[in-house]
Structure 1
């Protein structure tokens, strides 16, 4: 067997294994992104934020199937199988590029999206409704208070109705003792706004996902090259001389 064919088959088998590993990795990334957005979905008015993550998970499922097809096609040296392998990889490559572009676009829209919806969610806070639960969770997890800073609470209906000159206790610093949320004790409160903290966190998640997608897209590119090399070698080996003599 030609050395080039052996090398190409080895590369394709390794890439098939890489596809399975990539499927597991992409599944984790997609689930992580969805779980992150799920925690803050009240602050994201449009659901297009989940589109890149949904594409990632779909790609992961197809990549597992691709790895199986790749192994079978490589062992059998089937031209049809290799052609199907190449076609599917090309489709996945396009999907990953699309997810990368969507992630880049949404990364720029995070700031306007968050700022446009967070204020309305905070205004619905009453300490009991679902919005209140989300706001408290957000402030506790991100160690923030208010949209821009803790003074934003003074303009909310909840603050005016309670009349105790205090913010929710979820604004209290974790290490603060006997914190009641009273504005007379600002040293016990988280003073940073939640909008900036949430924007930074979401942008970091999107950037991480984009790097993973880019890396796997590069793997797909080399996979397509390996299939082309193996196919070309197979075609060359198919040509047989029609004569063995020498013209006089």
Structure 2
């Protein structure tokens, strides 16, 4: 999927900061590893091995926490989508994102199309309108009056929250596979660092 899902939640607002910190940590670890191997410095290689081991353990802990709290994360996505809906009439970028998402997932509203009845400008019960992106065949003003017809065949019957959860379940397996691959390389890095430490120490003992 090439569309963005905006998550407006306090628990997710720190993600960019976390990514920056992770990037800085990786840079520091890489520095110790490269310089230690190049200079054959025992202390730097040892520091590299220790830091890489700590990162490896943190990743395992994060994977366990992610599995334990996966249902809560799905709830955050659902709640955030509903919060985003509230800005549909005032935020053009959000409108585009939600419209694209509804067409992509073939859905309407959070849990159902009735969620739009609480969102301006669709809270006018007399008009009973829905966003055009709720229409199976999207055309201009195709959503006008469709909220008055329960189970309209012209409107996507399912809400977007379930679609987002299914998409997350599908893609989290890919993410898990990539994470396992990275962890395997880190484990190899730890093993090679230990071997290098042993070689450097043996060289010191010979001298």
The TM-score with structure 2 as length reference comes to: 0.72
Q: CA deviation at 1:199?
A: 1.7
How do residues 162-241 of structure 1 correspond to structure 2 at under 5 angstroms?
A: 162-173=125-136, 175-177=137-139, 180-181=142-143, 182-183=145-146, 186-240=152-206
Greater Rg by CA: 1
1:103 aligns with 2:46: no
Q: CA deviation at 1:82?
A: 1.0
> Which residue is 2:11 aligned to?
47
1:76 aligns with 2:42: no
Q: In structure 2, do the counterparts of structure 1 residues 158 and 99 end up closer, same or farther at CA, with 3 Å as the change threshold?
A: same
The TM-score with structure 1 as length reference comes to: 0.62
Q: In structure 2, do the counterparts of structure 1 residues 198 and 164 end up closer, same or farther at CA, with 3 Å as the change threshold?
A: same
Q: In structure 2, do the counterparts of structure 1 residues 79 and 72 end up closer, same or farther at CA, with 3 Å as the change threshold?
A: same
Aligned length: 199
Structure 2 gaps of 5+ residues are none
How do residues 6-155 of structure 1 correspond to structure 2 at under 5 angstroms?
A: 36=4, 39-42=5-8, 45-48=9-12, 51=15, 54-116=17-79, 118=81, 122=85, 124=86, 128-130=89-91, 133=95, 135-136=98-99, 138-153=101-116
Q: CA deviation at 1:179?
A: 5.5
Deviates more, 1:61-70 or 1:202-211: 202-211
Structure 1 Cα separation of the partners of residues 170 and 10 of structure 2: 19
> Which residue is 1:24 aligned to?
none
Q: In structure 2, do the counterparts of structure 1 residues 212 and 49 end up closer, same or farther at CA, with 3 Å as the change threshold?
A: farther
Q: In structure 2, do the counterparts of structure 1 residues 64 and 71 end up closer, same or farther at CA, with 3 Å as the change threshold?
A: same
RMSD across aligned positions (CA): 3.6
Structure 1 gaps of 5+ residues are 1-34, 241-248
